[in-house]
Amino acid sequence: MSTTIPVTGPPPYDVVVGHDVLASVPAALAGTQRVAVIFAPPLAALAERVAALLTAAGSEPTPVPVPDAESGKNAEVLARCWDALGAAGFTRSDAVVGVGGGAVTDLAGFVAATWLRGVRWAAVPTSLLGMVDAAVGGKTGINTAAGKNLVGAFHPPAVVAADLDVLRTLPPADLAAGLAEVVKCGFIADPTILKLIEADPAAAQQLDGEILPELVERAIRVKAKVVSTDLHEAGLREVLNYGHTLGHAVEQIEGYQRRHGEAVAIGLVYAAALARHAGRLDDATVERHRTVLQQLRLPTTYRADAWPQLRAAMNIDKKTRGATLRFVILDGLARPATLEGPSEELLAQAYSEVAV
Ligand SMILES: NC(=O)c1ccc[n+]([C@@H]2O[C@H](COP(=O)([O-])OP(=O)(O)OC[C@H]3O[C@@H](n4cnc5c(N)ncnc54)[C@H](O)[C@@H]3O)[C@@H](O)[C@H]2O)c1
Ligand SMILES: O=C(O)C(=O)C[C@@H](O)[C@H](O)[C@H](O)COP(=O)(O)O
Ligand SMILES: [Zn+2]
């Protein structure tokens, strides 16, 4: 059983989520000759299954193993992927498939965006975070020493095949990290998500119940709607960056060793505190951020002495214009807004609510 959630584009494509969805990959890449299947070691068996489906459909898969997680999302690994495509003689009628968590699909999508200035690609997200967020919407890219995702391209996939069964092997901490982005969707657009988690936080993490699939579908619908309206982040899409200004700074100062979803959880509390200090958000909604994230055992605090480093790292956030920091905040539940150029005092006051 599966659900198809359309991203209306342009270009249009489907997010197919549920069980037995992998056949949608060869279907979406019909007519391609060679297909590079980019994967990290923990997902080697699934990558082989995808390759077998491509072979059965008449394509010629080339396996391209890459280092796991953030250690594969950099310029050196990107260049190795280009070399693999070059050695196999990839042309514009060929394609790429990314099989893995968000780090691998971000990398694979960027390989596809840059090879011959853009070839088709498909995403097979294998983490919760990848299914609800990273694989959807066409943001592809890599990290640099200066910051998270600083090099990349908007290059939407031909299909996203999210097979809920693959989540069975996902470590619980990675499942929880994915829920941070689901919570984000709850605060910016769909408060039912928050009610579902608050009513039964354990059920939100159980693969065999009905709650987790509903949360996945709801979060994908939030993202699909936003990116269908504003692929290139001219305005509306910025709401998906809620919690990411401080979150990305945490990841950068930790050398990309911290789970993205955990950093976003800390960043969500910071953004809520910032909104309150700016007089835009009530105490109860700020507190709701802490409680729902803590129910999922996600971090909501960070080292007090890290503030100078975090503050410097935030300067290179993609929403920054010149010297003006810009934050996504809330004016209320499901009422995302922008805060431009907050004072240093305000920034530090908000951090005092996160600092331990
Ligand atoms: N492009 C976007 O719009 C977007 C959105 C959100 C996040 N991201 C990016 O996504 C990345 C985070 O993604 P993530 O949380 O998936 O982390 P990740 O890709 O680093 O994966 C986390 C770990 O889970 C493992 N894993 C994944 N699926 C598994 C499975 N089914 N079974 C066993 N192990 C599995 C991975 O091998 C890895 O060790 C970050 O780089 C973030 O910047 C991008
Ligand atoms: O899709 C988006 O747009 C988002 O902002 C979703 C985020 O969850 C995601 O982490 C994204 O990669 C951040 O984008 P960036 O442009 O700040 O790197
Ligand atoms: Zn994110």
pLDDT value, residue 33: 95
Tokens matching residue 142: 């890599």
Q: Which residues are annotated as a binding site?
A: 68-73, 102-106, 126-127, 139, 148, 181, 244, 260
pLDDT value, residue 66: 98
Interface confidence, given as ipTM, is 0.99
95-109 average pLDDT score? 98
pLDDT digits (tens, 9 = 90+) for 299-312: 999 999 999 999 99
Query: How far away, in angstroms, is 271 Cα from ligand 3 center?
Result: 14
Instruction: Tell me the pLDDT band of 108, cut-offs 50, 70 and 90.
Output: very high
Residue of 7, 107, 127, 167 to test ligand 1 pocket, by largest number of atoms within 8 Å of CB = 127
pLDDT value, residue 323: 87
Whole-Å CA distances, 315 to 276, 318, 326: 22, 9, 10
20-30 average pLDDT score? 97
What residues act catalytically? 117, 139, 181, 223, 233, 237, 241, 244, 248, 260
At the topology level, CATH places domain 2-169 in Rossmann fold (3.40.50)
Q: In whole numbers, what is the pLDDT of the chain averaged over residues?
A: 97
pLDDT value, residue 147: 86
pLDDT value, residue 146: 87
247-275 average pLDDT score? 97
- Let me know how long the chain is: 356
Which of helix, strand or coil describes residue 17? strand
Looking at the DSSP bridge assignments, the partners of residue 177 are none
Burial of 2 (0-12, 13-18, 19+ CB in 10 A): middle
Measured from CB, residues less than 6 Å from any atom of ligand 1 are 40, 42-43, 68-70, 73, 100-104, 106, 126-127, 129-130, 133-134, 137, 139, 148-149, 166-167, 169-170, 174, 177-178, 260-261
Instruction: Tell me the pLDDT band of 61, cut-offs 50, 70 and 90.
Output: very high
Reported pTM: 0.98
Residue 182 to residue 30: CA distance in whole angstroms: 32
pLDDT value, residue 189: 98
* Residue with CA closest to ligand 2 atom 6: 240
151-155 average pLDDT score? 98
- What are the residue boundaries of the structural domains of the chain, listed by start? 2-169, 172-352
Could you tell me the CATH superfamily of domain 172-352? Dehydroquinate synthase-like - alpha domain (1.20.1090.10)
Which DSSP string do the residues of 285-335 spell out, in sequence order?
HHHHHHHHHHHTT----B-GGGHHHHHHHHTT-TT-BTTB-EEEEESSTT-
Residue 26 to residue 23: CA distance in whole angstroms: 6
137 in contact with ligand 2, CB cutoff 6 A? yes
Q: Which residues are annotated as a binding site for NAD(+)?
A: 68-73, 102-106, 126-127, 139, 148
Is the model's pLDDT at 9 over the cut of 90? no
pLDDT digits (tens, 9 = 90+) for 119-147: 999 999 999 999 999 999 999 999 999 88
Residue of 110, 133, 139 to test ligand 2 pocket, by largest number of atoms within 8 Å of CB = 139
Task: Look at 316 and 305; give whichever has higher pLDDT.
Answer: 305
